[in-house]
Amino acid sequence: MSRKIIIAIDGYSSTGKSTFAKLIASKTGYLHLDSGAVYRAVTLFGIRGGWIDADNNIDEKSLRAAMRQLRVSLRPDTYINEENVEGLIRQMDVSNAVSPVSALGFVREFVDRLLRRYGKKGGIVMDGRDIGTNVFPDAQLKIFMTADDKVRAQRRYDEMVAGGKEVSFEEVMKNIQDRDYKDTHREISPLRQAPDAIVLDNTNLTLEQEMDWFTDLMRTKFGIELK
């Protein structure tokens, strides 16, 4: 692929954004960057430093001051300084605290600055909640992913049960609805569909069908032929 564009993928949680973004990146030869991972790295940093307690109360002033020393990078695994924290940022303590952390203005500024540096040369696929609306409003391709919430909950539930976790479908459904509410009602950069985004509703699609959809899109919209 010769033209190096920015592909922004936003959408509701558990719509398979990361999986789709990774596959697109391998098809196009682009770099996949997961913006949620940076919010998670900031959260891990805050928990370790003691500025976020077990009830997710945040000492905003101290966290903000400490973040002057924080260096996060996506390689594409997530690093804090020279430490690979990819596994740690997916654990429950971080997942539980990341939502309020990602609502803080100074955290969003920190993450936005970092993400924009990666976009300078193009050739990236970035997924998140505000990539097409806020981080890269000029991205050449914006995809907004959605799916019926019952279908999303079922997929997440099946994944968790297969991984040996004991959860009820109702719990998973409630968690998804909570996250949808928080993501769309946050004061700064809430989840919104950009007016120029193309909607990908994968309620009734397999991953293979999603990839066919993407290949067609690249051909018709950009004249780019992917194998």
Contacts with ligand DC by CB under 6 A lie at 13, 35-36, 39-40, 98-99, 102, 128-131, 183
> In the numeric block, which tokens belong to residue 1?
């692929």
Which are the contacts of 113, defined by CB distance < 8 A and separation ≥ 6? none
Smallest separation (angstroms) from ligand DC to the CB of 100 = 9
What distance in Å separates the CA atoms of residue 88 and residue 77, rounded to the nearest whole number?
A: 11
Smallest separation (angstroms) from ligand DC to the CB of 141 = 17
Tell me whether residue 36 or residue 123 sits nearer to ligand DC (CB atom): 36
Smallest separation (angstroms) from ligand DC to the CB of 11 = 10
Smallest separation (angstroms) from ligand DC to the CB of 139 = 13
Smallest separation (angstroms) from ligand DC to the CB of 224 = 25
Tell me whether residue 39 or residue 214 sits nearer to ligand DC (CB atom): 39
Extract the runs of DSSP E, i.e. beta strands, from the chain: 6-11, 31-34, 72-74, 78-80, 83-84, 124-128, 141-146, 198-201
What distance in Å separates the CA atoms of residue 83 and residue 49, rounded to the nearest whole number?
A: 15
Tell me whether residue 119 or residue 128 sits nearer to ligand DC (CB atom): 128
Helix (H) or strand (E) holding 96: helix 92-102
What distance in Å separates the CA atoms of residue 170 and residue 88, rounded to the nearest whole number?
A: 27
**What is residue 73's three-state secondary structure?**
strand
Tell me whether residue 140 or residue 175 sits nearer to ligand DC (CB atom): 175
Tell me whether residue 1 or residue 151 sits nearer to ligand DC (CB atom): 151
